[in-house]
Amino acid sequence: MPRRRFLTAAGAIGLAGAAGVVATTSTACATTSSGAAPQTEPAMHHAAAGLMTLIGSYTSASPAGRGLEVAIRDDAGKLVQSAVVDGVPDASFFAWSPDHQYLYVTNELVPNGTITAVDISQHHPVVLGSKPSGGAGPTHLSVHPGGEYIFTAHYTDGKVAVHRRNADGSIGDQTDLIQHPGSQPHAHQVLVDPSKQWVVAVDLGADAVFVYAFDTATGKLTQHQHLELPAGTGPRHLAFNYDRAYLLAELKSEITVLDWDLDAGRFTAGQVIGTREPDAGGENFPAEIAVTRDAKFAYASNRGDNNIATFAITAAGLEFRGTTPVGGDWPRHFALDPEQTSLFVANQRSGAITRLARDANTGALTPTQDVYECPSVAALTFHG
């Protein structure tokens, strides 16, 4: 789709590589806060000394990314070293198994779409293999809390797929495939609600959120609610906060606060709040949203304004606290580290991950000088 090509700046479609393991350090994606290239040592040498960080990038984009790579976050909060995991092209989103031993990856721009399983149980990534994802443009995936199923959302054709997850962590057979309605559906997220009873899919093209009942015996989805948003909203991702959810709109730069009835499995739309500064102008396309573990703050990324918006979570809804520059261009994704003392931002167009220090008491973010270069970076996650 033209909008998708604009947002990803993707070039020619790449081909999936063969399954592999962590290679030696690549100089194409390197820590640059000191300006020095990384040493050519295997990442495993440093695995015990820091937090393993998995980074995804678009191998089919221009400039080409590296697919899946490994970095180590040191005690100072800086990402150091780099290694490439062979056989994981166009890695654009991640999901962990409940025990955090297996990682699942969308290969978004691979022809017809695939998803890949990676074994990290020994702190040494080994690719278990890839499977057709069930649709075109897989852009988001999640694992059921029970660990038996994987859900994948497809942007290009608006499908949601369900696969079994094998006992060895590999991807099993497809058990269901749902086609969202509308002339241009674009499923952008699929996840399980906090009660573990319902599966929720956010569709940017259909301007809707779909709630599904899920049969854990058969792996089948049954539509339960179709929540329609105003035309042109473009909902992209939501983040749950127990009996509430915060729905981020890519095309309107807004967050809609949704009340969530866990027993009935139904959303009710409430407060709508902007993600931008009052005087902001020009185009802006929000991308990612997250809630802190203590449920006191929420953050959203603005692509265009190139900042992170901070919100305090109150009994009434969300309270806008301002924005913080990310120090890069086009913040497609971000992740809080396990301690939630830093927020790491994947800036796709500038090809860099930047770090913002976080004050846990006030929620305030502060830019740092830490920059980790990686062309066409898409997402990151921590093994911790």
Residue pLDDT tens, the chain, 384 long: 444 543 444 333 333 333 333 333 333 444 443 333 333 233 333 344 699 999 999 999 999 999 999 999 998 999 987 799 999 999 999 999 999 999 999 999 999 999 999 999 998 999 999 999 999 999 999 999 999 999 999 999 999 999 999 999 999 999 999 999 999 999 999 999 999 999 999 999 999 999 999 999 999 999 999 999 999 999 999 999 999 999 999 999 999 999 999 999 999 999 999 999 999 999 999 999 999 999 999 999 999 999 999 999 999 999 999 999 999 999 999 999 999 999 999 999 999 999 999 999 999 999 999 999 999 999 999 997
Nearest to 372 by CA among 346, 340, 338, 341: 346
Secondary structure (3-state) at 123: coil
Half-sphere exposure of 257 (CA within 13 A, CB side): 21
Task: Please give the model's pTM, rounded to 2 decimal places.
Answer: 0.89
Cβ atoms of 208 and 228 closer than 8 Å: yes
70/80 Cα distance (integer angstroms): 9
pLDDT of residue 284: 98
Burial of 281 (0-12, 13-18, 19+ CB in 10 A): exposed
* Alpha carbons 299 and 193: distance in angstroms, whole number: 19
Q: What separation in angstroms does the CA of 120 have from each of 52, 165, 186, 285?
A: 10, 16, 31, 33
Rounded Cα distance, 152 and 167, in Å:
19
Complete DSSP assignment for 207-227: TEEEEEEEETTTTEEEEEEEE
Domains of the chain: 2-382 (2.130.10.10)
Q: State the alpha helices, DSSP H only, in 114-178.
A: none
